[in-house]
Chain A
Amino acid sequence: MAYDAEAGPSDEALMVLYANGDRHAALALTQRVTPRVLAYAARMLAGDRAEAEDVAQETMLRLWRMAPEWRQGETKVTTWAYRVATNLCIDRQRSRRRKGQMALDDAPDLADGGPTADQRLQDNHRVAALEAALAELPDRQRQAVVLRHIEGLSNPEIAAVMEIGVEAVESLTARGKRSLAAVLSGQRGALGYEDDGHAG
Chain B
Amino acid sequence: MQDKDLDGLLSMAASRAPRPSDGLMDRVLADAMALQPRPEGIAAPAAPAPVGLLARLAALFGGAPVVAGVLSAAMAGVAVGYFSPATTDLLTGGLGAGAEVLDLFPSADFLMTEG
Which residues of A line the B interface, CB within 8 A? 18-21, 23, 26-27, 29-31, 34-35, 38-39, 42-43, 49, 52-53, 56-57, 60-61, 64-65, 67-68, 108-111, 123, 126-127, 130-131, 145, 149-152, 177, 180-181, 184-185, 188, 193, 196, 198, 200
User: B10-18, B56-64, B82-90: which one contacts chain A?
Assistant: B10-18
CA distance A29 to B33 in the complex (A): 12
B contact residues vs A (CB 8 Å cutoff): 1-7, 9-21, 24-25, 27-29, 31-33, 35-39
Whether B6 and A181, one on each chain, are in contact in the complex, defined by CB atoms closer than 8 angstroms, is: yes
- Complex A-B, nearest 10 residue pairs according to Cβ-Cβ distance, in ascending order: A21-B39, A108-B18, A39-B17, A26-B32, A149-B10, A64-B35, A185-B1, A150-B14, A60-B28, A181-B1
A57–B27 touching, CB < 8 Å: yes
List, sorted by A's number, 18 A–B pairs whose CB atoms are closer than 8 Å. A19-B37, A26-B29, A34-B20, A34-B24, A60-B28, A65-B35, A67-B35, A67-B36, A67-B37, A109-B19, A110-B16, A152-B14, A184-B9, A185-B1, A193-B1, A198-B1, A200-B1, A200-B2
A109 cross-chain contacts in B, Cβ below 8 A: 18-19
Question: B33–A42 contact, CB under 8 A?
Answer: no
Judge whether A35 and B20 touch: CB under 8 Å: yes
Judged by DSSP, the binding face of A is helix
Give A109 to B6 CA distance when docked, in angstroms: 21
Q: Which one of B20, B38, B39 contacts A38 once the chains associate, using CB atoms below 8 Å?
A: B20
Cβ of A127 and Cβ of B9 under 8 Å apart? yes
Contact B31 A64 (CB under 8 A): yes
With beta carbons under 8 angstroms apart, the residue of A56, A151, A196 that contacts B20 is A56
